Structure 1
Amino acid sequence: MKGIFLSLATLALVAGCATVPAQTGTTASYEAIPHDITAGQARLAARLYPKLVEAAEPNDNLFISPLSLSEGLGLALPGARGQTEAEMRDLLGWDAASRPELLVKDYDRFLARTGDDKVALSVANALWLSNRLDFTPDYLRAAKDGFGATARQVDFGGDPAGSADTINGWVSEQTRERITKIVDASGFNDLTAAVLTNAVWFKADWSVPFEEGQTGEFTRGDGTTMPIYMMERIAPMAYRETREGQAVQLPYGQDGRFTMEVFLPRDMAILRRWERDLNAESFDLSMQGSDAKFDLGAIEERNILLRLPRFEARFEESVKAALIAAGMPCAFDGSCADFGAMADADLKIDDVAHATFLRVDEKGTEAAAVTTVKIVVTGSRRLPDDLPRMIVDRPFLLTIRDRASGALIFFGRIADPTPVEKSE
């Protein structure tokens, strides 16, 4: 598996960011507002992350953006019906009665208004639609009004390279070039109906910068060690220590509305148990009566010494298998998927790609995430009935030749082809 990384600190950040300031002494604190979208991010993370862990190697980083994933998948929700819609709503935690999909644009606008020149956050949604398919006005209106999603036609079948360049260019722009590629032209053809994209970019300075540190030793997941530069800070911080491990909260900007939280287990066995036993309430800042395993909002500050690696990490992976295992199989199954409210065609989700970037240094943090949901036509009924078809599903002959000289370089029969993996 490629390097994949999930920061529980980032999960806590995005799961509880719908907040209002409350004055406490001379500093502003933030109390979480219960919100279907926020709660849904925690629900999605708690169900999806353990499925990703099952496929990960001990040294794999694992870092996802529940904010980006929920909005990327949510872009397909207004087009879903029946069992497809029910499974998507259940995984997203978006109730049909309250319809959180109507509020995403306002929610994102709230996130982006950080009120702090040391903290920047942007969230963008877009639809890339096949120019050979008519999408329903109701779906396009729901995506625009609810998500602020711009819609643009592309020619997936006739110009796959141009389509990929257009989408990747948007991704690069929205993530300030931290993620420059999320789709490949080889994945597009005449049956590609749409690519739904979400991009998140975050950059913030620490409220208290780190001091210079020294090179230390980091133990990987498999027990091997590596040298790494460790930043250092001695200051009052929200800190918790139990028999299972330690945790610290690191605020950004002037008022600490946005934070990173770092959770350090005593050993790998505890880490594995933490990952296995995730539940949505662990991230819910509005439920202090919950186990709040990954919430430091109510912890008092203590003067401590903190050493933290200065590092970068990236992730790029399909999360299709994990989403199916987490409870959303119908949307990927051509015999079950129903996106009839999106377009008059038999559609399904072909793949969901997710990419993230994270950099942590003495000054602060920069992070980016992109989610793409590729929608395809499940059948070929849009193709002309008289279109010639060649299905190479039996023994065949082939040649490899030089057309300039006529040289016959290779020729022969293929009667028992051996399957191979895609070249990297």
Structure 2
Amino acid sequence: MRKAALSFPFLVSLALGGCVTSAPAPNFGPSPSGQSERSGEITPWALTYGAALMTAKVYPHLAATADANANLFVSPVSLSQGLGLAYLGARGGTRDEIGRVLDWPSVPNAAVPIRAYNAQLSDTGDADITLGIANALWLAKGLPIRDEYVAEARSGFGAAPETVDYAGDPTGAAARINGWVSRETKGRISEIVSPSGFRDDTAAVLTNALYFKAKWQVPFEETETRTFTRGDGTRIPITMMKRIGRFDYRETHEGQAIALPYAGDGSFVMEIFLPRDTAVLRRWEREMKGGDFFAGEQGGNDRFDLAAEQAREMRIILPRFEARFDKSVKAALIAAGMPSAFDQQRADLSGIVSGVRLAINDVAHATFLRVDEEGTEAAAATAVKIVVTSARIEPQVPEMVVDRPFLATLRDRKSGAVLFFGRIADPTAIP
């Protein structure tokens, strides 16, 4: 049976296609909202649905400011898990805002299903399909991190804590973070942070990396050169791949949609949503709703719910291409409904550290996509940079609070003479 997650357009179908595999599947069945029917519990289905809702909130803001010829694609899984690491340590209004953007309920066990969810996504059940997801915490040297935060990030997200020196060695810190991202994305994303972006007040960087590679169920064998019309109307020559096969397909007055299956049982697919013209595309982007990713609504009452379609014999002609996206999504997240996390006066990330006020300084998101005759390779990385806002980071050392009567000496250590000794039981404040 087809699951709704297969109807995600853009790169979402790559990032979330693993929700349907040959392994025992978690419950992704219909639900009226992103939360479980059992109050306060986040289910695997809710994580998928929440990532879709988040994308529908963030993507229109990115599209509104993008150049007409810009490639614009995000990974909902990567972005939601990077933000999820911040959500674990958020409190009060900041936690509520991030939770609403992620469509996660404010419950203590929010991270519990993530690690199992990622394992389910990664178990593709086919040697020709690879999907890997990783998380990590990059903590400033001397940061008074809360042990419970590290424990929850490790148990929930599989995020290992690493200590780096942002203030003393920003180049080394960036090299370690970028090296990790490069390894986890098989070299497709080599840089997500820059040494110039680190300051003395940089406290942590929370990272997610996602990698996907799959062969087509039937490879393309024919190519020809055709003309591709770009977003601004200019035309360029490009290599097009073509083949005939049976595909889930629908056509309406607004455009066409097709699902191209990858190896195995066809659970993993790339979906192509082709608008009639640029005006329709702009409206789709502007009026996107969370339900679009599941019901497939793309304007008016027309639906591109390919899972409900019967396969039909079709010729598909598709560009062979490689594209990248690398941009801060801070402004889009603020517009989507989580401004306080970035506000140094209002941010509350007190669940991460003790005695230090933190705020999110930026959220960097990078993606890579390559489509050719053999299949598809895609990668994504998210880095949530957190800074100190109102206190300097103090080393974690044993603490002594002199808040009761005490004894004191005044001693000449050279001679050993005790000059004064006695008890202070009622110290008088100096005016």
Q: Normalising by the residue count of structure 1, what TM-score does the alignment of the two structures yield?
A: 0.83
Shift of 1:14: 3.7
Among 372, 395, 404, the alignment partner of 2:383 is 372
Q: How far apart, in 1, do the equivalents of 2:362 and 2:272 lie? A: 31
Which residue is 2:82 aligned to? 72
Shift of 1:271: 0.5
Q: What amino acid maps onto 2:29 in structure 1? A: I
Shift of 1:97: 4.3
Specify the structure having the higher radius of gyration (Cα): 2
Which residue is 2:11 aligned to? 10
State whether residues 15 and 284 of structure 1, in contact with CA within 8 Å, keep that contact through their aligned partners in structure 2.
no
Q: What amino acid maps onto 2:10 in structure 1? A: A
Shift of 1:252: 0.6
Which residue is 1:415 aligned to? none
Which residue is 2:372 aligned to? 361
State whether residues 166 and 198 of structure 2, in contact with CA within 8 Å, keep that contact through their aligned partners in structure 1.
yes
Q: What amino acid maps onto 2:346 in structure 1? A: C
1:97/1:81 CA distance change after superposition, 3 Å: closer
Q: How far apart, in 2, do the equivalents of 1:20 and 1:115 lie? A: 6
1:393-423 residue CA offsets vs partner (Å, 9 max, x unmatched): xxxxxxxxxxxxxxxxxxxxxxxxxxxxxxx
1:119 equivalent to 2:129? Answer yes
- Secondary structure of 1:194's counterpart equals strand
State whether residues 143 and 394 of structure 2, in contact with CA within 8 Å, keep that contact through their aligned partners in structure 1.
no
State whether residues 21 and 123 of structure 2, in contact with CA within 8 Å, keep that contact through their aligned partners in structure 1.
no
Task: Compute the RMSD of aligned alpha carbons.
Answer: 2.4
Q: What amino acid maps onto 1:371 in structure 2? A: T
- Secondary structure of 1:370's counterpart equals strand
Q: How far apart, in 1, do the equivalents of 2:280 and 2:368 lie? A: 26
1:281-339 residue CA offsets vs partner (Å, 9 max, x unmatched): 1112799xx97945421211111111000000001100000100110100000111001
Which residue is 2:272 aligned to? 262
Which residue is 2:254 aligned to? 244
1:20/1:118 CA distance change after superposition, 3 Å: closer
Q: How far apart, in 2, do the equivalents of 1:377 and 1:285 lie? A: 42
Higher mean alpha-carbon deviation, 12-21 vs 374-383, is at 12-21
Shift of 1:101: 2.0
- Secondary structure of 1:41's counterpart equals helix
Segments of 5+ residues of structure 2 without an aligned counterpart are 1-7, 31-44, 396-431
1:92 equivalent to 2:102? Answer yes
Equivalenced residue count is: 371
- Secondary structure of 2:134's counterpart equals strand
Which residue is 1:399 aligned to? none
1:132-189 residue CA offsets vs partner (Å, 9 max, x unmatched): 2110011001100110001110111011000000000001000000000111111112
1:54 equivalent to 2:50? Answer no
1:15/1:113 CA distance change after superposition, 3 Å: closer
Among 204, 221, 241, the alignment partner of 2:231 is 221
1:199 equivalent to 2:209? Answer yes
Among 218, 223, 238, the alignment partner of 1:208 is 218
Q: How far apart, in 1, do the equivalents of 2:296 and 2:227 lie? A: 37
Q: How far apart, in 1, do the equivalents of 2:284 and 2:141 lie? A: 46
Among 169, 174, 178, the alignment partner of 1:159 is 169
State whether residues 64 and 286 of structure 2, in contact with CA within 8 Å, keep that contact through their aligned partners in structure 1.
no
Q: How far apart, in 2, do the equivalents of 1:125 and 1:326 lie? A: 24
Q: How far apart, in 2, do the equivalents of 1:307 and 1:227 lie? A: 14
Which residue is 2:244 aligned to? 234
Among 271, 288, 292, the alignment partner of 1:282 is 292
Q: How far apart, in 2, do the equivalents of 1:317 and 1:283 lie? A: 23
1:135/1:98 CA distance change after superposition, 3 Å: closer
1:210-255 residue CA offsets vs partner (Å, 9 max, x unmatched): 1222000000011110000000011111111111000000011111
- Secondary structure of 2:150's counterpart equals helix
Which residue is 1:19 aligned to? 20
- Secondary structure of 2:308's counterpart equals coil
- Secondary structure of 2:306's counterpart equals coil
Which residue is 1:409 aligned to? none
Which residue is 1:413 aligned to? none
1:10/1:350 CA distance change after superposition, 3 Å: same
State whether residues 138 and 164 of structure 2, in contact with CA within 8 Å, keep that contact through their aligned partners in structure 1.
yes
Segments of 5+ residues of structure 1 without an aligned counterpart are 1-6, 23-28, 385-424
Percent identity reads 52
Q: How far apart, in 2, do the equivalents of 1:146 and 1:295 lie? A: 33
Q: How far apart, in 1, do the equivalents of 2:89 and 2:389 lie? A: 15
State whether residues 202 and 385 of structure 2, in contact with CA within 8 Å, keep that contact through their aligned partners in structure 1.
yes
Q: How far apart, in 1, do the equivalents of 2:296 and 2:109 lie? A: 20
Among 151, 154, 164, the alignment partner of 1:141 is 151
- Secondary structure of 1:156's counterpart equals coil
Q: How far apart, in 2, do the equivalents of 1:223 and 1:171 lie? A: 36
1:371-404 residue CA offsets vs partner (Å, 9 max, x unmatched): 00000001244489xxxxxxxxxxxxxxxxxxxx
Shift of 1:102: 1.5
Which residue is 1:316 aligned to? 326
Q: What amino acid maps onto 2:314 in structure 1? A: I
Shift of 1:352: 0.2
Q: How far apart, in 1, do the equivalents of 2:243 and 2:27 lie? A: 26
Q: What amino acid maps onto 2:376 in structure 1? A: T
- Secondary structure of 2:307's counterpart equals coil
Q: What amino acid maps onto 1:120 in structure 2? A: T
Which residue is 2:29 aligned to? 33
Higher mean alpha-carbon deviation, 184-193 vs 11-20, is at 11-20
Q: What amino acid maps onto 2:327 in structure 1? A: E
